[in-house]
Structure 1
Amino acid sequence: MNSASDGLLRPSDGDALRAELRGLAALSKLPVVFGGEVHAGTLVLSEFVGTRTNGMRGLAVAPSSGLGGSAVATGKPRSVADYRSASTITHHYDAPVLGEGLRAVVAVPVVVKGEARAVIYVANRDSGVIGDRVADEMVQAGRRLATELAIRDEVDRRLRLSFARDAMASANTVVTEQLRDLHAELRGITQSVSDASARSRLRDVTEKLARLVSGVAAADDAVSLAPRELDVLAHVALGCTNLETAQRLSVGPETVKSYLRSAMTKLGAHNRHEAVVRARRLGLLP
């Protein structure tokens, strides 16, 4: 009925329509009950109870055309006591309708948020007004179906929001990991820069990057890590072993252990993971 019905988790709206039509057929006792969904304003007849021919199956009813098209356009029930001679509707579909032998017909739109999403019909092969009792039953069926579709729409809306949030979170995670890689790389490059001024500027950049990613406005002065301690911790945060960190920073593994141990002591951490978590909370690492 709309793009929401394309969702893999959404049940078939056609099944819901079919169930209402079968219930209506049992209640109304009329010989023919049928209906269809509205796609981009066009009603397509798809569900039938009591028909003898296939002439109306798959019939596309344009807005304002015929009885159903009028119901879609106005959003209100429409009826004729004798389809053949009715002057209140267009007669674009006389061949399939009269071929089925239908005379008295009532069409009720299923309206959700002001939009016709389906139309349900009852019909008699004799002319004459179809009574209020049947019309009331049709209106109730239409309301039940409208409520069901509205619930499905809301479920779809929430699922789409959830999927969008998950996708955004996943994208943010990827970006965050890339920024952490960049931070660690810059920390490594800084040590190879001989110019003291340039080295200081690079460290300032890495500190700003750490605060930006961690969301901490300013690093906590209560904990101050030496540049090499921060270099080691930045690589440890990426999951590097002591040996890998040593290779990246061009120092020995024992030196890495020493710096890491010192950083953990300053941070009050008992292990590598805890040290990284606390450093991020303090805005020292991204």
Structure 2
Amino acid sequence: MSTPPPLLRPRDGDALRAEIRRLAGVAGVPVIFGGEVSADTLRLTEFAGVRTNGLRGLSVTRASGLGGRVVDSRRPAAVSDYGNALSITHHYDGPVLGEGLRSVVAVPVVVSGRSRAVLYAATRGPGPLGDRTADALVQAGRRLATEIGIRDEVDRRLRLLDMTAPAPASDGVVAEELRAVQAELRAIADAAGDVHMRDRLREVGERLTRALAGGPDPDAPRLARREIDVLSQVALGCSNRAVAQRLSLGPETVKSYLRSAMRKLDAHSRHEAVATARRLGIIP
């Protein structure tokens, strides 16, 4: 029987689909598509702008065609005339040319040295795709790689807990590790330059908070995002200096956020603020 996916991890295909939709609006080309890589085989599942069903569900093996080439090399590649290109094999000419595609660029989504997905942009006319399209595809690949990498790390930590934490005394250990994961996600989200990626990372962190604390008390005081970030780090035992380093803030700024949170929570110490925030479900 297959092992079910981790409870907290959404489908990577959903993130891929979101990037395809986003690219369809900004890449400036008629056709965008892609798929995930499993066991060195790329399966095309997400599409925007296609007219036929020839590419849907197509399995592309490593080093075959344009997609298989980028899976193997882990580098972007492009052809300006697919049917006559000498740099690729022609195993998939039927569905590609049947869709009328000529100029195609493919970008691998590389996580920890492995291709995990491939994004494509294509036109039905001659001539190479422009730099704007290629840049948009590369940026989308980086966003998707970051998101998948974060999900992998969360899964790794949860698996490690499953293997090492003794039962039934493991609940506290699991909770502390999940709190650490949640705090790290908030720190990584804050450092992310891409707004879309920052929002997705924060969403995962909030899901962890709800899983551990059941969500905030409706009567709880409203803390600013930065105040919650600081409290989440303090809850791990970090000093103000360590919090400042993790969140890329000045030490005095950290003190200011902490004082503000303590005032809102009617707490007289950092430890009381953490305890109150946890009791109210503001932090896990």
1:28 to partner: Cα distance? 1.0
Q: Which amino acid aligns with 1:102?
A: L
Q: In the alignment, is residue 35 of structure 1 matched against residue 37 of structure 2?
A: no
- How far the C-alpha of 1:171 sits from its partner, in A, is 9.2
Alpha-carbon distance in 1 for matches of 2:4, 2:105: 27
C-alpha deviation, 1:8, in angstroms? 2.9
- Say yes or no: does 1:143 pair with 2:147: no
Matched residues in 2 for 1:119 and 1:5: separation?
24
Q: How far apart in 2 are the matches of 1:61 and 1:130? A: 22
1:83 and 1:4 map into 2 onto residues whose CA distance is 40
CA distance in 2, matches of 1:62, 1:149: 22
| 1:6-155 correspondence runs (5 A) | 6-155=5-154
Higher-Rg member (1/2): 1
Gaps of 5+ in 2: 171-284
Measured against aligned partners, the alpha-carbon deviations of 1:137-187 in whole angstroms (never above 9, x if no partner) come to 111000000000000000111111222234x33399xxxxxxxxxxxxxxx
Partner SS for 2:167 = helix
Q: 1: distance between equivalents of 2:4 and 2:43?
A: 15
The 1:4–1:40 alpha-carbon spacing in structure 2 relative to 1, beyond 3 Å, is farther
TM superposition shift of 1:89: 0.4
Amino acid of the structure 2 residue aligned with 1:156: D
Distance across 2 between alignment mates of 1:37 and 1:152? 15
Instruction: Give the deviation of 1:6 after TM superposition.
Output: 2.6
Q: Distance in 1 between matches of 2:128 and 2:156?
A: 41
Map residues 179-194 of structure 1 onto 2, 5 A cutoff: none
d(CA) in 2 for partners of 1:61, 1:4: 25
Q: Determine the C-alpha separation between the residues in 1 that align with 2:149 and 2:169.
A: 31
CA offset digits 1:93-141 (Å, max 9, x no partner)? 0000011110000000000011000000000000111011111111100
Q: How many residues of Structure 1 are paired with residues of Structure 2 in the alignment?
A: 169
Question: Using a 3 Å threshold, how does the CA distance of structure 1 residues 134 and 25 change in structure 2: closer, same or farther?
Answer: same
Q: What is the alpha-carbon distance in structure 2 between the residues aligned to residue 5 and residue 63 of structure 1?
A: 27
Asked if the contact 1:4–1:156 (Cα under 8 Å) also holds between the matched residues in 2, the reply is no
| Partner of residue 170, structure 1 | 168
Structure 1 gap segments, 5+ residues each: 173-286
AA aligned opposite 1:26: G
Structure 1 runs of 4+ aligned residues shifted over 4 Å read none
Q: CA RMSD in A?
A: 1.8
Q: For the residues of structure 2 that align with 1:4 and 1:14, how far apart are their CA atoms?
A: 18
Instruction: Specify whether residues 116 and 4 from structure 1 end up closer, same or farther in structure 2 by C-alpha distance, changes over 3 A only.
Output: farther
1:192-207 equivalence runs, <5 A: none
Secondary structure in structure 1 of the residue aligned to 2:50: coil
Amino acid at match of 2:59: A
| Counterpart-to-counterpart distance in 2, 1:61 and 1:118 | 11
Structure 2 counterpart of 1:170, one-letter code = P
Q: Secondary structure at the match of 2:149?
A: helix
Give the 3 Å change call, closer, same or farther, for CA 18–87 of structure 1 in structure 2.
same
Are the equivalent residues in 2 in contact too, given 1:81–1:105 (CA < 8 A)? yes
Which residue type is aligned with residue 111 of structure 1? V
Distance of 1:158 and 1:139 partners within structure 2:
29
TM-score, normalisation: structure 1:
0.57
The amino acid that maps onto 1:169 is A
Deviation at 1:40, TM superposition (A): 0.6
Relative to 1, partners in 2 of residues 1:89 and 1:5: Cα closer, same or farther, differing over 3 Å? farther
Quick one: percent identity of the two aligned structures? 63
